[in-house]
Amino acid sequence: MDKANFHHVHLNVTNRDKTIAYYQKYFGAKYIKYRNRTDALFVEKSFFLLNLVDATPPTHEGSSLWHIGWSGVDGQSEFDWRVKEGIEVHTAINPLGDNHWMYFFGPNNEVVEVFTGNKNHTFEHIHLLATNVDETMDWFKLHLGLAPANENAQQWGNGLFKWNMLHVNNINIMVNGRPVEERSWFPAKFKPTDGTVFDHIGFSFENIEPVFEQMKSSEVKIVKGIEIDPVHGLKSFFVRGPNHLLIEIVEEKPIPEGIWP
């Protein structure tokens, strides 16, 4: 089958202007009017689509979507200037070999990482959690044509947990398995991502009908059939991915051929 492209992260937000200003200021995202319809953000080759809600959405913590992440270059200076500019810190800067990682809170309490391993300033990764890493990789390979970076899940450190990743355009989708010893960042039971601040993630194909039929025949749970989204103008359908992750499959050409204003 064709290989999926990464299309978007969909956030539930109480204030679009505040969310847009946050990602512009701290992470260099670009404001756009998506399809000349709605306020959104463009991050190199994909989008942040924003759904306006009345009340602060439930936290994504406890779901399989752990956090989203940007790359960085100089960890300490990047941590220092964000803190000076008023960002809220989730987890202060930590070394990882020759690199650094740090977590910040977004305006709706979403968690955003900066990791300096790839030495740039682009939107770089989505970090998922999984009860079984190999089964999660198999799902993405079978239904989205995305092959894992490693044939089998790898051990992290001294066998603390298993991990693997997918490379999708310029995005790495990191997947961590359940740790051998209980850790606060890994939920005992996953809740659905729907309705949380990170409502879902989206992938695109130029023609989604064959993808829909393949998933339907494979008994993937179809959450919503093929429709035109009246808000964003997207032709898409929704499925339940691994570990209760909501996934939208969008009919769209990849960037830069894809239509966007």
Tell me the whole-structure pTM to 2 decimals. 0.96
- Can you give the pLDDT at residue 40? 97
Give which of 176, 177, 160 is closest to 127, Cα–Cα: 176
Whether residue 199 contacts residue 11, with contact meaning beta carbons closer than 8 Å, is answered with yes
- Within 10 A of 213 (CB to CB), how many other CB atoms are there? 10
pLDDT over 70 (residue 7):
yes
Q: How far apart are CA 9 and CA 130, in angstroms?
A: 19
Report the relative pairing of strands 123-130 and 171-177 from DSSP bridges.
Answer: parallel
pLDDT band of residue 90 (cuts 50, 70, 90) is very high
Could you read off the pLDDT of 21-53 as tens digits, one per residue? 999 999 999 999 999 999 999 999 999 999 999
pLDDT over 60 (residue 152):
yes
**CATH architecture of the domain formed by 5-251:** Roll (3.10)
pLDDT over 80 (residue 160):
yes
- Within 10 A of 237 (CB to CB), how many other CB atoms are there? 21
Whether residue 72 contacts residue 195, with contact meaning beta carbons closer than 8 Å, is answered with no
Q: How far apart are CA 10 and CA 208, in angstroms?
A: 19
Q: Work out the end-to-end distance of the chain between its first and last CA atoms, rounded to an integer number of angstroms.
A: 29
Report the relative pairing of strands 88-96 and 65-71 from DSSP bridges.
Answer: unpaired
Boundaries of every domain in the chain: 5-251
How high is the mean pLDDT of the chain?
95
Q: How far apart are CA 72 and CA 28, in angstroms?
A: 12
Whether residue 49 contacts residue 33, with contact meaning beta carbons closer than 8 Å, is answered with no
Mean pLDDT score, 93-110: 96
pLDDT over 50 (residue 104):
yes
